[in-house]
Structure 1
Amino acid sequence: MDLLRAAIIGPKGTPYHDGLFFFDVHIPSAYPSGPPLVYYHSGGLRINPNLYENGRVCLSLLGTWDGRGCEKWNPAQSTMLQVLVSIQALILNEKPYYNEPGYESFATTPNGQLLALKYNDDTFLYSCRTMLYSLRRPPEHFADLVAGHFRVHGHTILAACKHYMAGNDIGSVVPEEEEESASRSAPKAKPGVIRTIPLNRRYAGSFDTSLKVLYEDLLMEFNVKGADTRKFMIEKLKKDQPAGT
């Protein structure tokens, strides 16, 4: 086999949590002497400094970014599994803002931390748009996987959206009662930070406005796919009900 497609689930505790991200992998004739070629299905969205709109994946292991020692492809040790795990753990991480070259040096500064939080806000919005893109235009032969994934995780994603609209940090733990219908087999979320948001953190409510629109779209899509949306649909019906009825 010289061509395969991989679906990576966004890790808990990150702005990518519960999302589905698709990658096409070409195994060249020189493999394993050289690394595979990896293409990301971006849907035209830049969700990470290492993942480009044109599908380019920047990773030292792939030879698409500078690296030293064990960061680079080693024909005797490197594997396809290592590539996929690296994408999930090193690229789809808790603070992707610091993936940008040179930005890690700002991690200990107040402004750098604020920018990282703002980047997480934007990234979660892109992740939600990626979910909608996958639901509406699933990769060939992966429609059942996409539908099944969001059927299981839809409730958790919607609960997280409401949690974030309430002012909590992206990736922070959603209260247990909000995830009562989540799959027992789903990985437990990492502890997150819940704190008061600085007034200049989320600009003029743009995050909330955008997320509210995405939440409504996701609710409808998840409902069609058979996810546990009953609680959220009831809330929507009550909200949409004319006053005095």
Structure 2
Amino acid sequence: MDTESLQQGSSSSWHTTGAVSCGAAQQQKRQRCQGSSSDQAGSSSSSSLQISEPEPQQIQEEEDYYMEDDCDDDFDGYDEDDYDFDEADFNQHLADKFDDLDLPPGVEATVPWLQKTTPKEDVKEPPKSNTADENANKYTQFKQFDTVQNFSDHYYAKNSHGEPNRAWSKRVQHDWKLLEKDLPAYIFVRVAEDRMDLLRAAIIGPKGTPYHDGLFFFDIHIPSAYPCAPPLVYYHSGGLRINPNLYNNGKVCLSLLGTWDGRGCEKWNPAQSTMLQVLVSIQALILNDKPYYNEPGYESYANTPNGERLALDYNDNTFLHSCKTMLYSLRRPPEHFADLVAGHFRVHGHTILAACKHYMAGNDIGSVVPEEEEEEEEEESSEHKSGDAGASGSAPELGVIKAIPTKRRSSFNPSLKVLYEDLLMEFNVKGADTRKFIDEKLKKNKPAAA
């Protein structure tokens, strides 16, 4: 279906500007997830977030990225024991794979906040082979908005949609026009020609948050009562709860969707609210820098020592979940988004790996990762200070590594190291610039000279 031929809605009240600005004005107001005794996902998940020091969670892996309708909320979706890593085999595999390849230099990738230009347009990827060049072209040509024939794996594919009436079709086409024209950067949408009630969105996590450079997928169903009723939204969680508003069973808790109480412009307004407003709200209000305070009642602990400690701890766990979500997407990309997944992580793989090492060095999740030149200067400075400290008898670590203000869980670094190794392998397969990290690994495992 050619979107240029879609009918424009006649009502002038359906303008996005007012709706989105209203949502933007509420960015500082955290959306609250609805937790009732009847919602097992909410009760089981929120129970793990207590103001006292939370216990380390067992991390399990889900076999399938896409979940069944009846999800076991006690299932964490990931098991580190499944990641049986053999360094010798890994090193040999990498040596065999890349000995004869001339890998490109590092690709700097930034993720500005809600810009109007798409991230792909700012990235220049030197081709390594005909296949890599073809894949890069598919990524750069991946449109922010486009139509597809249908979705075979859509969460709401089995929902009955009936025969759409003229008013419903006209409103949906109007929303499609808004999405095609006004989508902010780092949001990508595909709508189905055969099923106008289905669409899928991919949102890239913003910089400065524990979600940075991650890809998060949402399936959306437009009910027959639309726009009198809000759309239904399902999050592809992989069994992981990465935010108080995003349940491990796929539920998205947002006032705009009617899944949590709200007032005024926070609630769905049939005359003004749009699909675009829903997606921008998820990106801006849910995927934020301190998601811990999205939990109902926890905002009162903001700016307190105990609250900040728990917020940092939540960010640590959230980043681990985000890395696992990257692996799910790489190994089983949602339909019609394979080119986006492969290209995104090929371009941003270097940045993600550098962030992992930065965090394992003791820095806060979401903090700025130094440029490579700065990293080299820090390493040289660290070695110099270490030598001087050793000569004077002072502690060599003093002033070398910037530590976070609170003690981090001892389980964080081992967990992230396992994910780092898996991401390194997956990013290599996708053609990301990982030369620096491979060299470091091979150098570390090279036998010392006799």
Which string of whole-angstrom CA distances, capped at 9 and with x for unpartnered residues, describes residues 22-51 of structure 1?
000001111112111000000000100010
Change in CA separation of 1:149 and 1:178 when aligned onto 2, cut-off 3 Å: farther
Structure 1: how far apart are the matches of 2:242 and 2:315?
A: 10
Aligned equivalents of 1:216, 1:239: Cα separation in 2: 14
Q: Which residue of 1 aligns with 2:404?
A: 197
Match of 2:288 in 1: 93
What TM-score, normalized to structure 1?
Answer: 0.90
**Offset, 1:177:** 2.1
User: Percent of pairs identical after alignment?
Assistant: 88
- Secondary structure of the residue aligned to 1:39 is strand
Match of 2:303 in 1: 108
Query: Which structure 2 residues correspond to residues 35-74 of structure 1 after superposition, within 5 A?
Result: 35-74=230-269
**CA drift at 1:202:** 1.2
Provide the secondary structure at the position in 1 that maps to 2:271: coil
Q: 1:32-78: per-residue Cα shift (whole Å, max 9, x none)?
A: 12111000000000100010111000000000011111100011111
Deviation at 1:197, TM superposition (A): 2.3
Q: 1:178 to 1:149 in 2, by over 3 A?
A: farther
The alignment status of 1:156 with 2:351, answered yes or no, reads yes
The answer to whether the aligner puts 1:243 opposite 2:243 as a matched pair is no
Aligned ranges 1:154-193 → 2 under 5 Å: 154-177=349-372
Tell me if the contact between 1:10 and 1:92 (Cα under 8 Å) persists in the aligned partners. Answer: yes
Alignment size in residue pairs: 230
Per-residue deviation, 1:178: 6.7
How far 1:198 moved relative to its partner? Answer: 4.3
- Matched residue of 2:411: which SS? helix
Q: Which amino acid aligns with 1:202?
A: R
Shift in alpha-carbon separation, 1:179–1:61, aligned structure 2, 3 A: farther
Letter in 1 for 2:299: E
Structure 2 residue 411 is the aligned partner of structure 1 residue 216: no
- Deviation >3 Å, runs of 4+: none
Alpha carbons of structure 1 residues 122 and 62: separation in structure 2 relative to 1, 3 Å = same
Give the conservation status (yes or no) of the 8 Å contact 1:35–1:62: yes
Query: Quick one: structure 1 residues 178 and 105, their matched pair in 2 at CA, closer, same or farther if it must change by over 3 Å?
Result: farther
Change (3 A) 1:143 1:179: farther
SS in 1 for 2:322: helix
| Larger radius of gyration between Structure 1 and Structure 2 | 2
CA distance in 2, matches of 1:209, 1:233: 19
The SS at the match of 1:23 is: strand
Q: Work out whether residues 223 and 229 of structure 1, in 8 Å CA contact, stay in contact via their aligned partners in 2.
A: yes
**CA separation of 1:18/1:178 partners in 2, compared to 1, >3 Å: closer, same or farther?**
farther
CA contact (8 A) 1:7 1:20 kept: yes
Residues 173 and 116 (structure 1), Cα distance of their counterparts in 2 relative to 1, 3 Å cut: same
Query: Unpaired segments of 5 or more residues in structure 2?
Result: 1-195, 376-400
- Is the contact between residue 49 and residue 96 of structure 1 (CA under 8 Å) also seen in structure 2? yes
8 Å CA contact retained: 1:156, 1:178:
no
- 1:144 offset after TM fit, Å? 1.4
Cα deviation per residue 1:2-37 (whole Å; 9 max; x = unaligned)? Answer: 101100000000000000000000011111121110
SS in 1 for 2:363: coil
- For residue 109 of structure 1, report the CA deviation from its aligned partner: 1.0
Aligned to 1:124: 319
Contact 1:46 1:53 in 2 (8 A): yes
